[in-house]
């Protein structure tokens, strides 16, 4: 199972990457999370992939911040490196200005990138959420679309069975699936409450919960949501699960 770290870029992103590189198989880079300006997830990812070519680097790609020309331009840069993928999502509304809706949904963006921009090497992934009760047939229809891989968010005890069904379909289709793995700590309690995600596990349950994911997902995206010391402990606990798939 691959262990990715949810990487929130700051002006010190190169130093942060150097501090975690030996503990991860790669990074899932955020894209101005919560609509606040931050170093571009795609630009940061291109730098990380160039510096650490052996690592998996997959940024989130939020469409609400981008018009079609920027969507195409950034994707072509990611295609040229190439990155290991982009995860397309409408995402949060921007903190400043209005959301851009020229591409109305992720599927429209996928078609635009494949047929109009004509990316060649870049894999494109969709983001599935267990925020509400999932209409499983609609969800599986999305999975069966023209996506190369899948990210699953809001994993917890209540959504574990949903993940299993989706992962089985991904396996049948030979599409990799990665799940976010949010760990609650005393330091991130307020942050978790603000973002509204359920925690996947507490720190003392990390190994227990992760062992249940072996053979189900291709990898997890580990995060303690703003608790940097917690991230270090979490990644160290996950080392025993860093075995190649298949």
Q: Which residues contact 228 (CB under 8 A, 6 or more apart)?
A: none
Cβ distance 58 to 85 under 8 Å? yes
Residue 191: per-residue pLDDT = 92
Residue 243: per-residue pLDDT = 73
CB environment 75-111: b (16+ within 10 A), e (fewer): bebbbebbbbbbbbbbbbebeeeeebeebeebeebbe
Q: What are the pLDDT digits (tens) for 195-234?
A: 888 999 999 999 999 999 999 999 999 999 989 999 999 9
Half-sphere exposure of 78 (CA within 13 A, CB side): 32
Cβ distance 4 to 27 under 8 Å? yes
CA–CA dist 118, 105 (Å, integer): 18
Q: What are the pLDDT digits (tens) for 126-163?
A: 999 987 667 899 999 999 999 999 999 999 999 999 99
- Residue 157 backbone phi and psi in degrees, to 5: -55, -40
pLDDT at 123 over 80: yes
Q: What is the mean pLDDT of the chain?
A: 95
156, with CB counted inside 10 A (0-12, 13-18, 19+), is middle
Q: 203 preceded by cis ω (within 30°)?
A: no
Beta bridge pairs of residue 179: 152, 220
Residue 196: per-residue pLDDT = 86
CA–CA dist 49, 188 (Å, integer): 29
Question: Percentage of the chain with pLDDT > 90?
Answer: 93
Q: Other CB atoms closer than 10 Å to residue 206's CB: what's the count? A: 20
SS3 state at 180:
strand
235-to-43, 128, 132, 207 alpha-carbon distances in Å: 25, 24, 29, 11
For residue 93, give both structure tokens: 């509304």
- CATH number for 2-241 (one of 2.20.25.190, 3.30.70.870, 3.40.50.1970, 3.20.20.220): it is 3.20.20.220
Least Cα distance to 181 among 150, 224, 211, 218 occurs for 224
Strands, DSSP E only, in 75-155?
86-89, 124-129, 149-153
């Amino acid at each position: 199972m691959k262990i990715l770290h949810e990487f929130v870029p700051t002006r010190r992103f190169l130093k942060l990457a150097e501090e975690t590189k030996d503990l991860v198989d790669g990074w899932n880079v955020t894209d101005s999370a919560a609509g606040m300006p931050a170093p571009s997830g795609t630009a940061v990812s291109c730098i990380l992939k160039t510096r650490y070519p052996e690592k998996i680097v997959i940024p989130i790609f939020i469409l609400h911040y981008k018009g079609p020309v920027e969507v195409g331009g950034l994707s072509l840069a990611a295609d040229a490196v190439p990155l290991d993928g982009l995860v397309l999502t409408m995402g949060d509304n921007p903190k400043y200005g209005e959301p851009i809706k020229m591409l109305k949904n992720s599927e429209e963006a996928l078609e635009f990138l494949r047929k109009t921009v004509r990316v060649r090497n870049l894999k494109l992934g969709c983001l599935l959420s267990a925020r509400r009760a999932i209409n499983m047939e609609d969800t599986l229809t999305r999975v069966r679309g023209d996506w190369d891989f899948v990210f699953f968010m809001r994993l917890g005890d209540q959504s574990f069975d949903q993940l299993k069904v989706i992962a089985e379909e991904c396996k049948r289709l030979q599409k990799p699936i990665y799940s976010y793995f949010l760990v609650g700590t005393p330091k991130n309690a307020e942050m978790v409450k603000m973002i509204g995600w359920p925690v996947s596990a507490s720190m003392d349950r990390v190994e227990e919960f992760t062992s249940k994911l072996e053979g189900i997902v291709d990898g997890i995206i580990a995060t303690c949501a703003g608790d940097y010391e917690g991230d270090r402990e979490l990644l160290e606990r996950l080392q025993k699960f860093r075995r190649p798939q298949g």
